[in-house]
Chains A and B, each alone.
Chain A
Amino acid sequence: MSAAALERAKQILGTAVRSTHDKCGDETLVVDATTIRDTMKALRDDSELKMNFLVDLTCVDYLGNEPRFEVVYHLRSMTTGARLRVKAPLAEPADGSSPEIDSLVPLWRGANWFEREVFDMYGVKFRGHPDLRRILMYPEFVGYPMRKDYPKERRQPLVRRTPDEA
């Protein structure tokens, strides 16, 4: 079921697809990050695929690898039941600023909070997101805790006991 979807996706996406695999039945496409919105729109709107449900959107930090980040999308077709995983490798800019990728909020409103979480945890910026703020951590928080180079011991307390209470 999903194998056919993978074939179809390869067909309609053409050069945007960098590689594919189907290890353990997880049909996966690795695609170009710069055209991610067009790619996802094509998968969603294709009359055969109908990948109309964005199941999950997350990110992986492969510290030491190049490109460092990978934004991962999980799609499912509510019509055919097929599933696809789409990965978009994302390099960290040389000046250490946040990597950027297009937001999928215009395609799926449900992407809103997913993207805020990825921004909060990994510092990936989503171009065109309507409200890109931290979602889990507090605004005073500095850094991105799920990045592999965030120090394990680092604490950023909001409140502590006053010395006279000790």
Chain B
Amino acid sequence: MGLEFYTSKLGDAVNWARKYSLFQYPFVTACCGMEFMALWGPKYDVARFGAEFPRFSPRQADLLIIVGTITERQGPVLRRVYEQMCEPKWTVAFGVCASTGGFYQNYSVMPGADQCIPIDVYIPGCPPRPEQVLDALQLLQDKIQKGEGYIQKRERAEHEAVKAGKLKVVG
């Protein structure tokens, strides 16, 4: 498939399939986790969007949800979890701490998980309402469909570079 992949209608079909079968890895560190659990319950029922099934190994997941405060000390761990995930992968920062550090402005808290890994969708709120999370999930699905996720954009840029002869495929 290679170069034609993203330029053809096949790409659209693949992205359509991807957006309705997100396997999430919840990286839960703080109180946001409680709200995150509500999302899985029958009331908000995230299964309607094809993303109900959590994977407890990052290697089997393609959506990393960072739920809660990330400290500087957790940075290398989060980075490693992210790097273990197979591409294509997407990330969501759940809540204001994961997005910006929130109300923690001190020596220990990382000012936003995007300091150490790329984030596709940010959800504000302390904690966010489940409706906001469903909204964010739909936003992410739109992004995936349009190929605007960070990894998708990077992949496309690499393909363009190969096409233009700036980058060589080895091996």
Q: Which of B44-52, B54-62, B106-114 contacts A (4 or more CB under 8 A)?
A: B106-114
Q: How far is the CB of B152 from chain A (nearest CB, A)?
A: 14
A/B pair count, beta carbons within 8 Å: 39
Give the contact-size bracket for chain A. Answer: 10 to 19
Would you call B72 and A157 a contact (CB within 8 A)?
yes
Q: How far is the CB of A5 from chain B (nearest CB, A)?
A: 37
A156 contacts B by Cβ under 8 Å: yes
A160 to B105, CA, bound (A): 17
A23 contacts B by Cβ under 8 Å: no
Would you call B75 and A165 a contact (CB within 8 A)?
no
Q: How far is the CB of A166 from chain B (nearest CB, A)?
A: 9
From B73, B107, B114, A155 is in contact (CB under 8 Å) with B107
Would you call A156 and B107 a contact (CB within 8 A)?
yes
Known: A137-B73, A156-B72. A161 touches B107 (CB 8 A): no
Q: How far is the CB of A84 from chain B (nearest CB, A)?
A: 32
Q: How far is the CB of A121 from chain B (nearest CB, A)?
A: 10
From B72, B106, B111, A152 is in contact (CB under 8 Å) with B106
Contacts of B76 in A (CB 8 A): 158-159
Chain A contact residues: over half helix, strand or loop, or mixed?
Answer: loop
Q: Report which A residues bind B (CB closer than 8 A).
A: 136-138, 145, 150, 152, 154-161, 165
Having A136-B108, A160-B75, A161-B117, one finds 19 other A-B pairs with CB under 8 Å, namely: A137-B73, A137-B108, A138-B73, A145-B107, A150-B107, A152-B106, A154-B107, A155-B107, A155-B111, A157-B110, A158-B72, A158-B73, A159-B76, A159-B116, A160-B115, A160-B116, A161-B114, A161-B116, A161-B118
| 25 contacting pairs across A/B (C-beta < 8 A) | A137-B73, A137-B108, A138-B73, A145-B106, A145-B107, A150-B107, A152-B105, A152-B106, A155-B111, A156-B72, A156-B107, A157-B115, A157-B116, A158-B72, A158-B73, A158-B76, A159-B75, A159-B76, A159-B116, A160-B75, A160-B115, A160-B116, A161-B115, A161-B116, A161-B118
